[in-house]
Amino acid sequence: MNQDLSIITLVLHASLLVQLVMALLLTVSLASWTVIFGKLIGLRRVKTDNEEFDQEFWAGRTLQELYQDAQRGEGPVSPQERIFAAGMREFMKMRERRVTDVGALLEGSRRAMRASFQREMDLIEAKLDFLGSVGSVSPYIGLFGTVWGIMHAFTGLSNLQQVTLATVAPGIAEALVATAIGLFAAIPAVLAYNRFSRDIDRIATHMESFVEEFSNILARNVTPAEQGRPAQGH
């Protein structure tokens, strides 16, 4: 009963397949933590940059000035600023072509902003599905290692005349380590996935609201009395 049942000893004495499962789970866990820290930093930067652009947008500057700043790329360019630039660029192009239909002008600008919005969301959501996969699959991979390890342990005991708890415990403990590592990989990934999903939903809602607000501002700049002049302010 004085056998060494430390985690390291159990891992070293596990069967080759169980060791491979453990190595896979540890690799996946390391990758998921890398994604988690990357998303924490990335989403914080997105929110900060969007807030800075919001302040500039509602500070009373003209649309032309904001668009020129976006074109020059001075300072950090937020996803919201790129959406604004896409809508403004399309708006100005259609005016240069002397499109006089108000509905066409607004619809063209809105389509450009929606396309830009989708591109930004694809970037923001990048690797989020990896965390979801880790959270859902890792426990089953660990369970597979545990089942295989228990089968291997009982197979090794089949030739013994007398089986006691001391002879069974090490093999079962070795196998259960795989499940523990699977949960170690899955739990942080699930928690991070849920947290990031909520944060991304808030960012998406904020940017969608901006698209609507900016569309309303453009609508005020394409009234029949103003169709011959460029957009100036908001």
CA distances from residue 158 to 46, 70, 151, 167 in whole angstroms, order as listed: 60, 73, 11, 11
CB 153 within 8 A of CB 171: yes
Instruction: Tell me whether residue 80 is in a domain.
Output: yes
Backbone angles phi, psi at 153, to 5 degrees: -65, -45
Domain count, the chain: 1
Domain with 156 in it: 7-226
Retrieve residue 145's tokens.
Answer: 């290692």
CB 130 within 8 A of CB 32: yes
Instruction: Tell me whether residue 232 is in a domain.
Output: no
CA distance 147 to 72: 60
CA distance 221 to 234: 8
Instruction: Tell me whether residue 63 is in a domain.
Output: yes
Whole-number pLDDT of residue 158 = 62
Whole-number pLDDT of residue 229 = 46
Full pLDDT tens readout for the chain, 234 residues: 445 556 666 666 667 887 888 899 999 999 999 999 999 999 999 999 999 999 988 888 888 888 888 887 665 679 999 999 999 999 888 888 877 777 888 899 999 999 999 999 999 999 999 999 999 999 999 998 888 878 776 776 666 555 555 556 666 777 788 888 899 999 999 999 999 999 999 999 999 999 999 999 888 876 554 444 444 556
Whole-number pLDDT of residue 17 = 80
CA distance 42 to 143: 33
Instruction: Tell me whether residue 93 is in a domain.
Output: yes
Whole-number pLDDT of residue 227 = 46
DSSP symbols for 149-179: HHHHHHHHHTT-S---HHHHHHHHHHHHHHH
Whole-number pLDDT of residue 13 = 65
Whole-number pLDDT of residue 223 = 53
Instruction: Tell me whether residue 234 is in a domain.
Output: no
Cβ within 8 Å of residue 230, ≥6 positions away: 64, 92, 95
Q: pTM of the full predicted structure?
A: 0.80
Instruction: Tell me whether residue 2 is in a domain.
Output: no
Instruction: Tell me whether residue 196 is in a domain.
Output: yes
Instruction: Tell me whether residue 106 is in a domain.
Output: yes
